[in-house]
Amino acid sequence: MKNILVMGSGLAGMTAALKLAEEGAAVTLVSPAYSERAQSVMAMGGINAALNTKQEDDSIDEHFADTMRGGSDLNDPEAVANLVQRAPEIIRWLEEIGVNFTRDEKGRVDLRNFGGQKKKRTAYAGARTGKQIATAIIAKCRKYEAAGQIKRLTGWRFHSLLIEGQECAGAVLLHENTNELQSLVADAVIMAVGGPNGVFGKTTGSRLNDGYAAGMLLKQGVEFSNLEMIQYHPTTVHTPSKRMLITEAARGVGGRLYVIKEGQPWYFMEEWFPGYGALMPRDVVSQSIYKVCNEMKLGINGNQEVYLDVSHLPPEIIDVQLDEVVSICSKFLKVNPYKEPIPVAPGIHYFMGGIKTDKDHTTNLARLFAAGECSAQYHGANRLGGNSLLGAICGGWVAAESSLLVGPMDKAAAEKIGEQQLETANQELQRWEKRANTSIKGYVQIKQELSELMYGAMGIYRKERQLLEAKKRLEAMNNDTAESWYHHHFYEYKTLSANILLARGMVESALARKESRGAHQRIDYSEKNDTQFKKSTNAVFLNNSICIEFN
């Protein structure tokens, strides 16, 4: 029986665990919180599949073409081909396990428009698609948990991989509250830890996805791809603790973006992009909002916001498909979207870059796999709305299938490595416990500095001077005596160092890509350059430096 360790219990992690359990493997599913708190639950919009229930002659080939075009051809074409091929099967499987997709008047799975796709391809479950899917998969997993095939370790976080040569043998885990460390040996490890929201602070994503795991993996020699590709969702709203997403579904059902120009509403997306309008890919919409607000100075009250208007839609559409939007507007904005436009602005939403994986979700280390937002292969330079949930589920399936193919492991040798690395981790913990808190800088202050630095350098538009300044400051932060920083918790201490390293990888990748493509827009290199840069960045940590190559 294979023994597989899955890090992360969102959709990618749970799907992998479920697939493995169905195939008879013993699964350990590790996460800091219950699956009900995973970022996957927040997804409102829907999941893409070329079902063609609207009789628009949609096809798997068109889904493939839209995805590749949306990603500016940095996507792995073999991986994308597998993704879109499996999409209809995934919808059928989700229905079988209890997902109640919204139906049309003929009883078929209803589909709606999402950005970058002219065909209606996005299936949805009211306004809470992610929650519906997660609930169904959680229930399915519990059957295998009761049977002992899936063992959940909740409250534990990834600390580091067990590595011997170029092979992964398991992981060291850290209990966030008690600082207890344990070593787990496994035939394979699947990383499904989500996007590194913690590097930037306020994003639309879960604060549980803090970026520590990605930074630590980079430090341990795992290769990363396209770290410069960071998606700014065009319609988010500010709240005290994070940015809240106004789902793309609002534009999919007819919501319009406008600003006031010469005393009249100006629907700039419809003028600039006839046919698509506000349903251009997210990178294009966010860049357009930036231009309207910063270059044309037409933002609401001189700010970085524009109006999203759904007040012209039938109330029943808003009631059924946008009820979560109504809730957000009422709670945080005191806006009535039935009668008033919603002030929105771009905000960080998704990380296309991540652990470098191939179509089988394998990494540069044997026995290590990655799936979900922490991996990079499906989305290239920009993700299409509706492909995230699809990529998480498909990725979990494929990573599970691939992990079952690994050969026998030398368990005695792996356990010896585990003992050695556990001892090293405990020694680090002991040094931290004995540290002298002499620094006036605390965790919150350093995190705020990092957030401001990264938002300034890695915004919607970037330029050499800001990127070089960010590189310099990050190197200085990295060279600072980390032990002298003040932290209440050992995990905070670990997270800061990992976040700074991952931020260095993002900035170095952005500096290396001297062109504008997808979510990466350079003011000083404003054109796309297919001759030199129609390929992915590859970031590796060597000799305390980030090395960037193009593949």
- 115 in Cβ contact with 282 (< 8 Å): yes
Q: Catalogue the active-site residues.
A: 282
Identify the bridge partners of residue 164 per DSSP, sorted by sequence position. Answer: 167
Nearest CA to 370 out of 397, 411, 407, 399 is that of: 399
CA–CA gap between residue 49 and residue 84 (Å, rounded):
7
CA–CA gap between residue 447 and residue 6 (Å, rounded):
28
- 238 in Cβ contact with 345 (< 8 Å): yes
CA–CA–CA angle 470, 455, 351 (5° rounding): 105
- For 3, 216, 288, the CA distances from 148, given in Å and listed in that order, are 13, 30, 52
Task: Give the ranges where 23-73 is alpha helix by DSSP (H).
Answer: 60-70
For residue 192, the SS3 value is: coil
- What are the two backbone dihedrals, phi and then psi, of residue 191, each rounded to the nearest 5 degrees? -90, 125
CA–CA gap between residue 521 and residue 461 (Å, rounded):
5
Q: Sheet harboring 256-261: ordered strands across?
A: 243-245, 230-238, 342-351, 306-309, 256-261, 264-266
Handedness of CA 530, 536, 537, 538 (dihedral sign): negative
Show the tokens assigned to 55.
């009789």
Strand 156-164 relative to strand 167-175: parallel, antiparallel, unpaired? antiparallel
CA–CA gap between residue 131 and residue 490 (Å, rounded):
32
Show the tokens assigned to 309.
């208007």
Q: How many CB atoms lie within 10 A of CB 44?
A: 25
